[in-house]
Amino acid sequence: MFENIGWSEILVLLVAALFILGPERLPEAAAWLGRSVRKVREFATGARQQLKEEMGPEYEEFRKPIEDLRQLRSFDPKRAVTQHLFDGDPDPIGLNNINGTSPIGGNGHSNGVSKPLSVPPAPEPLKPGEKPPVDPDAT
């Protein structure tokens, strides 16, 4: 229910409560909030237990589809497609291994050994007065 609330939002709420209630009533309000949350949890636990006792073994059959729906809430389609297309390889085109090593063998299969990538040598710089090479097909 409150999964998306971060520490910054809680801090803003506390500062707002301090200004609204004042320092003398804030501890009283915090204690009331704690008691209320505890009561709601107890009611929810009691209702769940009562439902479980009344339904018996059918409760688990009823709960299973709901659990499956909860898992779909955290479903990431991008991750699922990547895992399906690339067999779970987190870096299918090697972007994470730009530092000169790659865990991928010659045929594209991971061999568990890092080998340096073959990098062609850089061309020598032109000497003073030397004309650059011309590719007539490119111009």
Tens digit of each residue's pLDDT (9 = 90 or more) over 13-32: 888 988 898 888 888 988 99
55 in any annotated domain: yes
Structure tokens at 98: 């730009």
73 in any annotated domain: yes
Structural domain range at position 24: 7-78
User: Angle at the Cα of 53 (from 47 to 55), degrees rounded to 5?
Assistant: 100
Compute the residue count for the chain.
Answer: 139
Number of domains in the chain: 1
* Percent of the residues in the chain that have a pLDDT greater than 70, as a whole number: 74
Mean pLDDT of 78-94: 72
91 in any annotated domain: no
**Predicted pLDDT at 117:** 59
102 in any annotated domain: no
pTM: 0.39
For residues 111 and 105, give the distance between their C-alpha atoms in angstroms, rounded to a whole number. 6
| Of residues 61 and 104, more confidently modeled | 61
84 in any annotated domain: no
Of the candidate ranges 26-30, 53-57, 81-85, 95-99, the one whose mean pLDDT is the lowest: 95-99
For residues 83 and 77, give the distance between their C-alpha atoms in angstroms, rounded to a whole number. 10
Mean pLDDT of 40-53: 91
**Predicted pLDDT at 112:** 53
| φ and ψ of 3, to 5 deg | -70, -30
pLDDT at 79 over 90: no
136 in any annotated domain: no
Of the candidate ranges 55-69, 73-87, 102-116, the one whose mean pLDDT is the lowest: 102-116
130 in any annotated domain: no
96 in any annotated domain: no
